[in-house]
Amino acid sequence: MEIDREAGADFPLDTMLEYELLAFHRDTPALSDVTGHQCGADRVSLVYYGVWFNNDERQKVFFKTHQEAIEAEFGAPSFNVFNPGWMTRLDLWLDGKEDIGEKLPLVHRQPERGERLMLQYSSLHVDGEAYGATMSWER
């Protein structure tokens, strides 16, 4: 699947299979992205996807589009730093962490099936692109 979308392997295939972590990278004029798959015993336990753009407008569109799609599929998030609710905001303020949205900009879901889904903005710079967003699914 990764090769079909013209992503290159980050490590030799034998090494990735030995460590049960498949990592791929793709760089186009429009974006840079990384994908990771952790697997073992014929089961995928983690999928990570990060994409970086050269402007914040495209980053925000990507984030909003994926946030809406995830919410349509799985419902409201367990925790949304952008809209935490008044009680959580009060707790954060009392703990001196009212700026958590700037430090940990994420939306977290924990569906009943024991999975964890996260969507967040990334402060990392990848291939010179400064505006990133990452998604991960873990079982």
pTM of the model: 0.74
Tens-digit pLDDT profile for residues 38-69: 987 788 888 999 999 988 899 999 999 998 89
Nearest residue to 24 via CA among 13, 8, 39, 37: 8
Mean pLDDT value across the chain: 80
Nearest residue to 138 via CA among 105, 104, 114: 114
Alpha helix ranges (H) inside 10-99: 13-19, 56-74, 86-94
Give the whole-number percent of the chain exceeding pLDDT 70.
Answer: 78
pLDDT given at position 51: 93
Mean pLDDT, rounded, for 13-32:
88
| Banded pLDDT at 4 (limits 50, 70, 90) | confident
Mean pLDDT, rounded, for 57-86:
82
Nearest residue to 129 via CA among 79, 77, 58: 58
pLDDT given at position 23: 92
Coil, strand or helix at 4: coil
Nearest residue to 27 via CA among 53, 49, 61, 4: 53
Domain map of the chain by residue range? 8-138
CA 103 to CA 95: how far, in whole Å? 15
Mean pLDDT, rounded, for 92-106:
59
